[in-house]
Amino acid sequence: MKGLSDKEIEIVAYLEFEKKYFFTRKDIAGFFSSYNQTRHTIHKLIQKGRIISLNRDKYYLIPIKAKSGKWSEDSFTLIDEVMNGKDYFIGGWAAANYWRITEQIPMKIEVFTIKRQGIKRYLTTTIIFKRTTKKQLKNSITQKRGSHTFRIFNKDASRKWLKSRSW
């Protein structure tokens, strides 16, 4: 891992002290005099492996205690932050496992959304984004894990989904 400049250390220390592991450009804009300086520093921190980009305006700080740069975050919290808390739900095997309908632990998490599709890897979590409709979003409920909320397929819908997968 490459060394950090004084400004980068100041930003990382501030975010760690404030416990802002999920942050936006606005959170660190006070350290810079221009948008381009902010953008450049974020780019350098991404190159050095100290932060990862979650979406267009949200980032995740790899904690200093992750000496090798490897870190793991709760998958459901991470997904909620990537999706900004709206227009999605966690489904498939991850939802079935969450509701204790199956003991199958998923290697990849299916996220149903109206916005995007494809496969993306964040930290140690592989997410498969699948398209759905606004009508299907109503089959999800909000749950809380720790101090963070997330949206997940409801228990009955997860049971029906699992029965449709049985042979």
CA dist., res. 100 & res. 88, Å (int): 21
| Res. 69: pLDDT tops 60 | no
**DSSP per position, 114-125:** SS--EEEEETTE
In this structure, what CATH number is given to the domain that contains residue 42?
Answer: 1.10.10
Confidence of residue 108 (pLDDT cuts 50, 70, 90): very high
Does 1 map to a domain? no
Same domain, 85 and 119: yes
For 109-154, write each residue's pLDDT tens digit. 999 999 888 999 988 889 999 999 999 998 899 999 888 899 999 9
CA dist., res. 15 & res. 162, Å (int): 41
Same domain, 89 and 155: yes
Cβ(158)–Cβ(151) below 8 Å: no
Same domain, 88 and 161: yes
For 23-47, write each residue's pLDDT tens digit. 999 999 999 999 999 999 999 999 9
Question: How many domains does the chain fold into?
Answer: 2
Range of the domain at 43: 6-61
CA dist., res. 14 & res. 36, Å (int): 20
| pLDDT score, position 68 | 60
Does 69 map to a domain? no
User: Greater confidence, 143 or 166?
Assistant: 143
Q: How far is CA 56 from the centre of its chain?
A: 13
Last residue of a domain, one of 61, 91, 108: 61
| pLDDT score, position 30 | 92
Same domain, 158 and 101: yes
Same domain, 57 and 93: no
Same domain, 18 and 100: no
Same domain, 95 and 147: yes
Does 54 map to a domain? yes
Does 66 map to a domain? no
Same domain, 83 and 41: no
Q: Indicate the Cα dihedral angle 97, 121, 76, 129, nearest 10°.
A: -80
Confidence of residue 57 (pLDDT cuts 50, 70, 90): confident
What are the C-alpha distances in Å from 46 to residues 41, 61, 88, 111? 9, 9, 26, 25
CA dist., res. 102 & res. 166, Å (int): 12
The 10 Å Cβ neighbour count of residue 157 is 19
For 70-102, write each residue's pLDDT tens digit. 667 789 999 999 998 899 999 999 999 999 999
Nearest-Å Rg of the Cα atoms of the chain is 18
